[in-house]
């Protein structure tokens, strides 16, 4: 394996009849990926595609807004997590970008105020952090701010730091996927033990160059978040894990470092965090 796309949704319905071709293209180029679930159904699909393919691993769990009516329950994931191809829990976290009625949990006595939706997200997040710790799996975090810059990042940091203190942890193991925070926040999460990963967006916007240049190479990872946000020269198309090669190249270019050195280190980072 030469490259790992640490976050794709290969188990999503966007990949149908041509999934085999996509995986063959990955194999030919030496690309592996972690297929990430966003609810129970897509977690089951992620484990299925991982079990069937040597170069695919799985991340199981619940996205903060993907399926608002679902509440995270360990019991639902207890069987899945025992599969040896499961390397991570998530994508879980806080998403304050979408706090409208569409993300209100449709359960009895549900509180659809902004505060109510945030509380539901926080409760699911805490359960998944504890689940990951219980099974010694890496965390795949999804953190996205709403109107208040730093709002979701600050709350996620507080939750993690509190658990770290309470449990006397030396460090967390995991990654903040599709990182969109500021440099100081990146550094705070790195101190907690996380890596941060970037998607194809960095091939056409410069907003994250400063962070990519200023954090240690050991704290970076590359991903596609496929089927979304395809990198240049595939922008606008359905994304696939093969295109992570463009993200690797761009990280090397932004840091003005040797592409081969960057490739080897990013591969090493993924192996270390996810135990691959
Ligand atoms: Zn994702």
From first to last of its 276 residues, the chain has per-residue pLDDT tens of 999 999 999 999 999 889 999 999 999 999 999 999 999 999 999 999 999 999 999 999 999 999 888 899 999 999 999 999 999 999 999 999 988 877 777 666 678 888 889 999 999 999 999 999 999 999 999 999 998 888 999 999 999 999 999 999 999 999 999 999 999 999 999 999 999 999 999 999 999 999 999 999 999 999 999 999 999 999 999 999 999 999 999 999 999 999 999 999 999 999 999 999
Whole-number Å distance, alpha carbon 249 to ligand 1 midpoint, is: 21
Tokens found for residue 116: 């109510």
Alpha-carbon distance of 81 to 74, in angstroms, equals 10
Whole-number Å distance, alpha carbon 159 to ligand 1 midpoint, is: 21
* Per-residue confidence (pLDDT) for residue 250, from 0 to 100: 98
* Per-residue confidence (pLDDT) for residue 194, from 0 to 100: 98
Whole-number Å distance, alpha carbon 88 to ligand 1 midpoint, is: 13
Whole-number Å distance, alpha carbon 174 to ligand 1 midpoint, is: 14
Whole-number Å distance, alpha carbon 203 to ligand 1 midpoint, is: 18
259: exposed, middle or buried (Cβ count in 10 Å: 0-12, 13-18, 19+): middle
Whole-number Å distance, alpha carbon 177 to ligand 1 midpoint, is: 7
Whole-number Å distance, alpha carbon 95 to ligand 1 midpoint, is: 12
* Per-residue confidence (pLDDT) for residue 107, from 0 to 100: 62
Cis, peptide link before residue 121, omega less than 30° from 0: no
Alpha-carbon distance of 213 to 13, in angstroms, equals 36
Whole-number Å distance, alpha carbon 70 to ligand 1 midpoint, is: 17
Whole-number Å distance, alpha carbon 12 to ligand 1 midpoint, is: 10
Query: Whole-model pTM?
Result: 0.96
Whole-number Å distance, alpha carbon 236 to ligand 1 midpoint, is: 17
């Amino acid at each position: 394996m030469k490259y790992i796309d640490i976050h794709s949704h290969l188990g999503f319905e966007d990949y149908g009849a041509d999934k085999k071709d996509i995986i063959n293209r990955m194999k030919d180029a030496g690309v592996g990926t972690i297929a990430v679930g966003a609810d129970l159904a897509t977690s089951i699909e992620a484990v299925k595609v991982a079990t069937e393919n040597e170069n695919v691993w799985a991340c199981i769990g619940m996205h903060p807004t993907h399926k608002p009516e679902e509440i995270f329950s360990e019991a639902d994931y207890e069987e899945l997590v025992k599969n040896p191809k499961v390397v991570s829990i998530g994508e879980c976290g806080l998403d304050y970008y979408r706090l409208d009625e569409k993300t209100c949990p449709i359960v009895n006595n549900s509180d659809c105020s902004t505060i109510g939706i945030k509380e539901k997200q926080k409760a699911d997040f805490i359960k998944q952090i504890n689940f990951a710790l219980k099974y010694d799996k890496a965390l795949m975090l999804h953190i996205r701010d709403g109107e208040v810059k730093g709002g979701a990042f600050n709350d996620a940091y507080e939750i993690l730091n509190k658990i770290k203190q309470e449990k006397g942890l030396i460090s967390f193991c995991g990654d903040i996927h599709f990182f969109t925070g500021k440099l100081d926040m990146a550094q705070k999460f790195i101190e907690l033990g996380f890596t941060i990963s970037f998607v194809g967006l960095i091939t056409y916007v410069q907003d994250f160059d400063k962070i990519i240049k200023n954090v240690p190479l050991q704290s970076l990872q590359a991903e596609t978040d496929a089927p979304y946000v395809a990198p240049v020269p595939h922008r606008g198309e359905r994304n696939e894990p093969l295109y992570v090669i463009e993200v690797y190249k761009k990280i090397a270019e932004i840091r003005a470092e040797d592409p081969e050195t960057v490739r080897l280190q990013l591969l090493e980072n993924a192996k270390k965090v996810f135990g691959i």
